[in-house]
């Protein structure tokens, strides 16, 4: 072990192959998370194919549902990290089929029910004839698979029996709609497929990955922004995609937010001693501190990212902050004139109203601070408080 330490310290590099292999923890859920990420890539892939008046619903009637006047589809996504065979009794297929038949009333609205999987058919699989078969032929395939009773079939047999508890007409109605999309690209190749989409032709290759990450971030946060509704309409997606694309194709190299940045810093405690936080405590507006920290944090990240390849951005930012401070000073003067300075409660009340008015300022573009966005402008306001001495207390300078 002493020789290993000497070598590592002299080269300042550690040969990972020499380290003892760590046992996989029971709570290591990496493969499951990869499946989730793959699912969201498939959502994005379908978003790129949306047509007018179509809407994607995520996790409502299954993994993905496309509501359309002409081609409504319900899609279940199954991802396997390594090569995988979809055998006749594999639960990916049977659980999906059971769910569709159990909720056959909900499935009536869909023209097609798709099992989208990275698995491939086995050479002797009865399922490899599925997509070329009619509904009654598919029913015979299912019955043929289930006729043979095996010793180890605890997973398969209850699902099989629950399917055939339903009326044959209901089963046939579902079977007629089912299509098996096997051998789909894995998580690495679906990302490459998306990056090569014609939608991204106007985006520089180096910018395509962060562009896609931005769109993925939008998809993941939709349930929060839309009150737990995970819906993406064609119009909404095109609007968002064009907005993001404009940021990446803008010759001015304007305001850009790092992809998938969290809404809050990992350690908010480090911000509790910042001046902009103390100013809110001074006017007894503690309820606004979490959002203030979030605005400040996100603005800082946007400034860093936007400045990397655009030195003019920092110059424009300085002028922008000066303009913001001038506006704040004017607001403050009007509130101070209208305040009973002998009443401490009125001072606090007017100071809070000053803060609220500042947060409501419209986010207008400013030179390369473009497109300006509400979160960024609010973060800049807090930077003005932090760095330029502005106070929310209307009795202070």
33 has pLDDT over 90: no
Nearest Cα to Cα of residue 171 among 145, 147, 143: 143
Comparing 75 with 14, which gets the higher pLDDT? Answer: 75
Q: How confident is the model at residue 193 (pLDDT cuts 50, 70, 90)?
A: confident
- Burial class from Cβ neighbours inside 10 Å (0-12, 13-18, 19+) for residue 95 reads middle
List CB contacts of 167: < 8 A, sequence separation 6 or more: none
Query: What residue ranges in the chain does DSSP mark as E strands?
Result: 55-58, 64-67, 73-78, 85-86, 112-117, 120-121, 178-181, 231-233
Q: Find out whether the peptide bond into 111 is cis, omega within 30 degrees of 0.
A: no
pLDDT score recorded for residue 227: 63
pTM: 0.58
Q: How confident is the model at residue 185 (pLDDT cuts 50, 70, 90)?
A: confident
- Each residue's pLDDT tens digit, 68-109: 998 999 999 999 888 899 999 999 999 999 999 999 999 999
Comparing 249 with 10, which gets the higher pLDDT? Answer: 249
DSSP state of 100: H
pLDDT score recorded for residue 284: 96
Mean per-residue pLDDT over the chain, rounded: 85
Instruction: Tell me the C-alpha distance between 318 and 98, whole Å.
Output: 61
332 has pLDDT over 80: yes
pLDDT score recorded for residue 206: 78
Token pair of 164 as six digits: 């055939």
pLDDT score recorded for residue 2: 36
Instruction: Specify which residues 233 forms β-bridges with.
Output: 55
226 has pLDDT over 50: yes
Nearest Cα to Cα of residue 261 among 298, 224, 309, 207: 298
Distances (CA, A) of 15 to 10, 48, 330: 12, 43, 61
- Each residue's pLDDT tens digit, 279-331: 999 999 999 999 999 999 989 988 887 776 666 677 788 889 999 999 999 99
Average pLDDT on 20-43 reads 69
pLDDT score recorded for residue 13: 47
Distances (CA, A) of 342 to 145, 336, 346, 347, 352: 87, 12, 8, 8, 17
Token pair of 213 as six digits: 């990450």
250 has pLDDT over 60: no
pLDDT score recorded for residue 241: 78
Instruction: Tell me the C-alpha distance between 216 and 210, whole Å.
Output: 10
CA 29 to chain centre: 19
Token pair of 358 as six digits: 């500042």
Average pLDDT on 51-61 reads 92
pLDDT score recorded for residue 16: 46
Q: Find out whether the peptide bond into 371 is cis, omega within 30 degrees of 0.
A: yes
DSSP state of 308: T
Instruction: Tell me the C-alpha distance between 353 and 331, whole Å.
Output: 10
With a pLDDT cut of 90, the percent of the chain lying above it is 52
Instruction: Tell me the C-alpha distance between 139 and 132, whole Å.
Output: 13
Token pair of 110 as six digits: 């869909």
- Burial class from Cβ neighbours inside 10 Å (0-12, 13-18, 19+) for residue 9 reads exposed
Sheet bearing 73-78, strands edge to edge = 178-181, 112-117, 73-78, 64-67, 55-58, 231-233
C-alpha Rg value of the chain to the nearest Å:
29
Nearest Cα to Cα of residue 325 among 390, 370, 276: 390
List CB contacts of 213: < 8 A, sequence separation 6 or more: 259, 260
Comparing 121 with 373, which gets the higher pLDDT? Answer: 121
pLDDT score recorded for residue 188: 83
Comparing 237 with 393, which gets the higher pLDDT? Answer: 393
With a pLDDT cut of 70, the percent of the chain lying above it is 84
């Amino acid at each position: 072990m002493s020789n290993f330490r000497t070598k590592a310290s002299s080269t300042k590099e550690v040969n990972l192959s020499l380290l003892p292999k760590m046992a996989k923890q029971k709570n290591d859920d990496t493969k499951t998370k990869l499946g989730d990420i793959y699912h969201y890539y498939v959502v994005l892939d379908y978003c790129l194919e949306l047509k007018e008046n179509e809407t994607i619903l995520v996790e409502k009637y299954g993994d993905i549902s496309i509501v359309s006047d002409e081609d409504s589809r319900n899609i279940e996504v199954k991802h396997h990290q390594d090569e995988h065979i979809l055998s006749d009794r594999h639960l990916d297929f049977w659980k999906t089929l059971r769910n569709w038949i159990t909720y056959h009333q909900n499935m009536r609205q869909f023209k097609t029910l798709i099992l989208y999987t990275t698995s491939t058919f086995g050479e002797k699989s009865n399922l490899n004839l599925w997509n070329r078969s009619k509904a009654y032929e598919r029913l015979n395939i299912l019955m043929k698979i289930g006729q043979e009773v095996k010793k180890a079939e605890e997973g398969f047999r209850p699902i099989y029996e629950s399917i055939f508890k339903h009326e044959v007409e209901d089963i046939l109605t579902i079977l007629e709609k089912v299509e098996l999309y096997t051998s789909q690209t894995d998580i690495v190749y679906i990302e490459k497929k998306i990056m090569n989409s014609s939608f991204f032709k106007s985006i520089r290759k180096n910018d395509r990955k962060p562009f896609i990450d931005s769109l993925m971030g939008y998809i993941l946060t939709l349930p929060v922004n839309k009150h737990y509704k995970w819906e993406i309409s064609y119009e909404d997606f095109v609007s968002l995609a064009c907005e993001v694309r404009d940021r990446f194709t803008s010759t001015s190299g304007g305001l850009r937010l790092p992809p998938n940045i969290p809404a809050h810093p990992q350690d908010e405690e480090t911000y509790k001693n910042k001046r902009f936080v103390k100013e809110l405590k001074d006017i007894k507006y503690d309820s606004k501190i979490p959002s203030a920290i979030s605005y400040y944090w996100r603005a800082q990240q946007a400034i860093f990212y936007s400045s990397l390849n655009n030195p003019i951005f920092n110059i424009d930012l300085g002028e922008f902050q000066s303009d913001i401070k001038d506006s704040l000073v004017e607001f403050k003067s009007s509130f101070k004139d209208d305040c009973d300075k002998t009443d401490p409660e009125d001072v606090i009340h007017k100071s809070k109203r000053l803060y609220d008015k500042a947060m409501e300022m419209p986010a207008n573009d400013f030179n390369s601070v473009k497109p300006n966005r509400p979160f960024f402008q609010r973060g800049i306001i807090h930077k003005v408080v932090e760095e330029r001495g502005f106070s929310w207390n209307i009795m202070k300078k």
